[in-house]
Amino acid sequence: MDVLIMVLVSFLGYILMYHLYGKYLARAIFKLSKDAVVPSREFEDGVDYVPTKKEIIFGHHFTSIAGTGPIVGPSIAIIWGWAPALIWVFLGSIIMGAVHDFGSLVISLRNKGKSISEFTARYINSRTRFFFFLIVFLALWIVIAIFGLVIALIFNIFPSAVLPVWLQIPIAIGLGYIIYKKNGNIILWSVIAVLTLYATMVLGSYFPLQMPALFGIPPTGVWTIILLLYAFWASVLPVTTLLQPRDFINAYQLLIAMLLMTAGILAAGLSGRLELVAPAVQMHPAEAPSMWPFLFITIACGAISGFHSLVASGTSSKQVKSEPDALFVGYGSMLTEGALATLVIAAVAGGIGLGYKAADGSTLFGVQAWSTHYASWTAAAGLGSKIAAFVTGAANFLTSLGIPQQIAIVIMGVFVASFAGTTLDTATRIQRYIISELAMDLKMPVLSKRYPATAFAVVTAGLLAFASGADGKGALTLWPMFGAVNQTLAALALIIITLYLRTKGGVKWLVAGLPALFMAVMTLWASLLNQTNFISARNILLLSVNGIIILLVLWISIEGLVKFFTTNGKEVEL
């Protein structure tokens, strides 16, 4: 019953804060205007700049920022207890993450749809812009390689998810054709598309597809190659061909999955079988780093994530057709992600106790199930382990509704893989924008074109993925520092938002300034602790890359601080 109360109270809190704090930001802080000219209309090209209804762009934006982030982070941070994880997700998403996403989107809308790296020059100065680009490129480099691996791991662990995930592509293309070419009813055909997707899930449960090793390459490596090739193809297509319709399907899929999980929690809670089996607080779990500051970089998506600023200013700002829509898309999406992260916490803190298959094949229940999976930081830290914990707990909720375990596993496996795929597509597309902008700065016009820039993004990610061998897990080498890099990017985005609001006068800047200060302290603290660990381990690669990141972040932060105290309240033209 505690799990049910936790979820319901959190959901009510998100709805309340959207209408109170979110609308206050839109009205009093950013002053959104329906008469403002937005990039999607000013630069409409049918490929990247496409005016889109807010319901559709919400689907694209949410599925792009979510990915597996709100699943992976809470699934490992729960080791410090469900209470710290829940508090950080709830408060972080409302007063930090949603402000970060909303602010990044609004500023990009008012800067010709430019990326946050691009308009750093406007709100700080031109010499920081190149450094910001480097940080963004590094973050996306790791994201593309990692999310290709994440999907590969899902396919390897849950082969029944393979068929429906790939069949979702022609379903989405068909949906896009009917909506945009034949003017079909969006709601009707989206529902039909989602029902078709769920039919393929039943098909997948009976026809699991296990990838064999090919030419000496393990299954995860084979899948990673296929997924990177797919990412190239998907990210060069017009957004209306695949990106938007598939994301709209995924938005419905998300809603259905969240409703099923919530209904399952209600059913299991009322039956008396569901309880919180994770400890409320566990300050010193075996082998784990300190909760302060690592909780705040372990849970990124779901609370606040720098990657979101890249989506908001990279793709979403080119599709929003009216400034007031930014509230629903930017602020609303982040609170929805917070709600998803809350369900993940419920799944790994309570759902896993309804039944967990141990390594020896036995099925464990209650506290014993949780304690076995989270015996130590090492036991819970692997990507496969995180994903399995959520899928198992969530599937247990669905079985409480009478859904067969076999089907429940497919539903949740496809859910995770679909969102990871959307993040892979969007990250590749944004990396193309970053490379194009960098190429223009470096006087390399050939690399600024759509296909060469996308090829460079995919090839470099592939080199990272296979740097450690044929299994495609090379990006895991840089994974220990990715959380800090991602959250540092969030702090830097909040600094830009703070400086933007500073030009508007008064104390409006505080809504972003205080979160910026908190995130800067937490992430630099974590980065410095990571640096000492890398020194002890004599890991030259991580030591060098992390050291460069720390220097760049300190540089940009100091430049931002100087700008804050010397600004004359005027903006610089790009």
The answer as to whether 571 is a domain residue is no
Quick one: CA torsion of 19, 4, 382, 365, rounded to 10 degrees? Answer: 180
Give the three-class secondary structure for 218.
Answer: coil
Task: State how far the Cα of 422 lies from the Cα of 364, in Å rounded to an integer.
Answer: 34
- Residues 74/85, Cβ–Cβ less than 8 Å: yes
Distant-in-sequence, close-in-space partners of 392: CB < 8 Å, separation ≥ 6: 351, 352, 355, 356, 357
The answer as to whether 40 is a domain residue is yes
DSSP tag of 572: P
The answer as to whether 181 is a domain residue is yes
The answer as to whether 572 is a domain residue is no
Task: State how far the Cα of 209 lies from the Cα of 510, in Å rounded to an integer.
Answer: 52
Structure token pair of residue 351: 């759902």
Q: pLDDT below 70 — which residues of the chain? A: 1, 378-384, 479-480, 567-574
The answer as to whether 542 is a domain residue is yes
Task: State how far the Cα of 548 lies from the Cα of 532, in Å rounded to an integer.
Answer: 14
Note if the bond before 293 is cis, omega within 30 degrees: yes
> What's the pLDDT score for residue 137?
86
> What's the pLDDT score for residue 39?
94
Structure token pair of residue 295: 């909780």
- Other CB atoms within 10 Å distance of the CB of residue 41: 14
- Residues 210/136, Cβ–Cβ less than 8 Å: no
CATH number, domain with residue 520: 1.20.1740.10
Task: State how far the Cα of 563 lies from the Cα of 571, in Å rounded to an integer.
Answer: 11
> What's the pLDDT score for residue 483?
81
Strands 356-357 and 363-364, sheet pairing = antiparallel
> What's the pLDDT score for residue 574?
41
Q: What is this structure's pTM?
A: 0.87
Total of domains in the chain: 1
- Other CB atoms within 10 Å distance of the CB of residue 463: 12
> What's the pLDDT score for residue 572?
46
Length of the chain: 574
With CA atoms as reference, report the closest residue to 478 among 493, 489, 459, 463. Answer: 463
Range of the domain at 395: 2-566
Distant-in-sequence, close-in-space partners of 355: CB < 8 Å, separation ≥ 6: 363, 364, 365, 369, 392, 396
The answer as to whether 140 is a domain residue is yes
